[in-house]
Chain A
Amino acid sequence: MTAARRVAMLKGGGSLERAVSLRSGARAEGALRRLGHDVVAIDAGPDMLEALLRTKPDVAFVALHGRDGEDGTVQGLLEAIDLPYTGSDPGACMRCTDKALAKHLMREAGIPTPTWSAFLESAVKELGVAAALPVFGRKLGFPMVVKPASSGSALGVKFARESDELPGAIVGALSYDRKVVLERYVEGRDLAVSVLDAETAGGEPLALPVIEAIPREEEFYNYEARYEIGMTTFVCPAELPDGVAERAQELALRVYRLLGCHGVARVDLMLDEQVDELTVLETNVVPGLTETSLLPMAADAAGVYFDELIARVLGSAFTR
């Protein structure tokens, strides 16, 4: 499958995760070059489409995290100009990126996800959400997780420890998105399962070994910890009670299929050991590819080294 191709590496962009995206993109670029491909690096800005039309690549490698790159916008534009691209299509991107939508779909499919409520900013003013805050408090309990429906980073994610903290947390989350998700806080272990498509169309996707993220300090598993060496200890494969890893992988595969992901995705879960329950938090359709990202780590543990991982993600552009 190693026909040399002209690959447009889409990275950077204007999202809050720009810096991470630049690192992901740069690293994937190196792999693509080693694989013998001709890489055109494009920082996704006002001249992105012009650059794509001018350089006429065979395929686009999407290494954009966050807004535009992960919410289906870029994918939709790539389809419009008939350029094959890596990863999920616009519909799957939208289903995953909107955490409220993803949770509805999971609940309908019987996939456990923490109880939540979600509403648009407009509802605060036009529908009087304030009156329901005590209800949310009773149903979801405190502490409560308050997060923007679509943010890929931990920016804007807050704990409200009591009802007094809810308004501020909601306003904070609404700084990043028009929609906010209030979610029951699950105390437990942070797990992530990356899923990689089969190399050929029609093959079964593969769940990679489970990773557990253990924050070094007793603080929220935060954005900086995710991307910086040393802030979080990652254990891969995670040391879990019998059968739990298999159940987590099975859940991740179900979510991957349910949401219609393609190529690659990372599913984040919580394990509540008290009640031996796994719940799915969210799915990331453009997982990070940096030196400290979870997808390459999981792939590595499965014997899929970085260049091969990139080769397979690239291949997913042609198996849709």
Chain B
Amino acid sequence: MDRPIGGASGGRRARPTAHELARYEALFATRTRGMKSSAMREMMALTERPDVISLAGGLPDTSTFSPELYAMLMSRVAASSTARALQYGPTDGMAATVECIVEVMAAEGTAIDPGEVIVTTGGQQVIDLVCKTLIDPGDVIVAEAPTYPGAVPTFSAYQAEVEQIEMDADGMPIDELEATLDRLQAEGRRPKFIYTIPNFQNPGGVTMSLARRRRLIGVAHERELLSLEDNPYGLLRYEGEPLPTLYSLDAEVAGAGGAADLVIYLGTFSKILSPGLRLGWAVAPRPVLEKLSLGKQGADLCSSPVTQLFVAEYFQQPAADGRPGWLAYVEQLRDLYRRRRDTMLDALAEHFGDAASWTTPQGGLFVWATLDGRIDTTDLLAQARDSEGVAFVPGRAAYVDGSSGASSMRLNFAGVQEADIREGIARIARTLEPDAGLLGTLMGTSAGARASEQPAGDADDAEGANLADVVELPRRERGVKRRSQDR
């Protein structure tokens, strides 16, 4: 028989696990319950292998930045401002950096008051600070469906309830938005803000039309509702005319000397310069800005002066032709990413044909592709990683409920070499082929290829009509209850 249990000698005992669990659980804030990691996310971590072509990243291509220029800028910062660079900076950001932001905003066609800017640690911090400022547990955020996967954990951490509105080729349908707002009002719930990525949406790849932008601002004013305009890629447009930012449209309506009333603008240097700098910004109405600033004090006091001074120095650089150097670099990125986007669209047409539909982004970093509704891209990723060595972001990551969007995937073209884009798409197609064959056999039909290429989105009155062709309608997998009700 066993020796009596629990008779281990005391000294080398680890801390008891169950006690440990119970102890920490009692200490954890309620909001941590909403902070989920997921099997899907863990699986994505497993795709970081050298033999895997990853179309999963959200990355720009930083290898295009000149190392010599980087070294020169850093040494100039050292020569002129070592002490400042190594010191704390103002919470709202350094004046020299704010000047650069004003320049970028001007390039976006948006005039701003430098006094309404706060420099943040990446654009991600703006999302966090806006939630910190506006969200009480249970408050509603209205977002696009699909939405930026990186915003989902932030929303969850603040215990926001998120209402997602399916997009079509022109972005968020405003009729749907109004219907949702009406329903919320009827339920006695008031949304705190609308979260939108109007340009080359991540992950959907679609752009909100001008008509909808105007209507969105109109709705916001009617209902006194804030919008968070997340615009990381506005300058990375590969075709078509730039559209005015929501911020500038709001400023027109508000007529308050160029400042917006109800739009909080989120910008970032991550996609036009470098995500490693961790520098973004918000432009917000002053009362909101004050709260964001207080929130930032608590979060990190200030963003890094080292990288802020780097940016300020960088913006001083002229290009060979006398233009601002940063704009020339953005132009260079546009050419590179445009080619990569075209490569991806060609590869999709070649390898997927009728087996998928996908968006044709006019800019940005991502294509959103949707397969037969019976294929779950999380399962496909597991298979693709093993058999072919290719990765993408399963669509579920872009839905707060974790189950909608199951048949879609986000594909990054910007950070991947053209040869790898072609090979990566071919690998996904090779993984999909047997699945489609199996499905066809099980259904007693030919493989379930259904969707065709997305029609160009046009008039607002066609809202919703072509929705299914662009973004897969949510398939609710509610998950059957696994236990009886009475416990």
Contacts and interface: CB of A to CB of B under 8 A. Distances in A.
A49 interface: no
Contact-size category for A: 35 or more
Contacts of A203: 1-2
A219 B479 contact: yes
A14 B383 CA distance: 13
Interface in B431-466: 435, 437-439, 441-444
A304 B37 contact: no
Contacts of A124: 438, 441-442
Contact of B6 (A219, A236, A302): A302
B379 A175 contact: yes
A68 interface: no
Nearest to A231: B36
A170 B2 CA distance: 45
Contact-size category for B: 35 or more
Interface string A200-232: 000110100000001110111111100011110
Nearest to A14: B46
Interface string A281-302: 0000000000110001101111
A83 interface: no
Contacts of A174: 435, 438
Interface stretch (B9-17, B170-178, B220-228): B9-17
A175 B17 CA distance: 35
Interface in B130-173: none
Interface in A300-319: 300-308, 311
Given A297-B21, A300-B18, A188 B442 contact: no
Contact of B28 (A35, A175, A230): A230
A176 B375 contact: no
A54 interface: no
Contacts of A218: 479, 481
A301 B45 CA distance: 33
Contacts of B442: 124, 129-130, 133, 166-167, 170-171
Contacts of B13: 305-308
Given A229-B24, A291-B20, A300-B16, A188 B443 contact: no
B19 A300 contact: yes
B480 A306 contact: no
A176 B480 CA distance: 22
B8 A130 contact: no
B382 A167 contact: no
A234 B33 CA distance: 14
Contact of A306 (B16, B24, B441): B16
A187 B484 CA distance: 7
Interface stretch (A97-105, A153-161, A255-263): A153-161
A130 to B, nearest CB: 5
Contacts of B35: 230
A34 B46 contact: no
Given A130-B444, A161-B480, A218-B479, 12 more contacts: A124-B438, A130-B443, A159-B479, A167-B374, A168-B373, A170-B438, A176-B382, A187-B483, A199-B3, A215-B483, A292-B21, A304-B5
22 contacts: A121-B438, A130-B442, A130-B443, A156-B382, A168-B373, A170-B438, A171-B374, A174-B435, A187-B484, A189-B487, A190-B483, A214-B487, A215-B482, A219-B479, A220-B480, A224-B37, A229-B28, A230-B28, A297-B18, A304-B8, A305-B16, A306-B13
Interface of B: 1-3, 5-6, 8, 12-21, 24-25, 28, 32-33, 35-40, 42-43, 45-46, 373-376, 378-380, 382-383, 435, 437-439, 441-444, 477, 479-484, 487
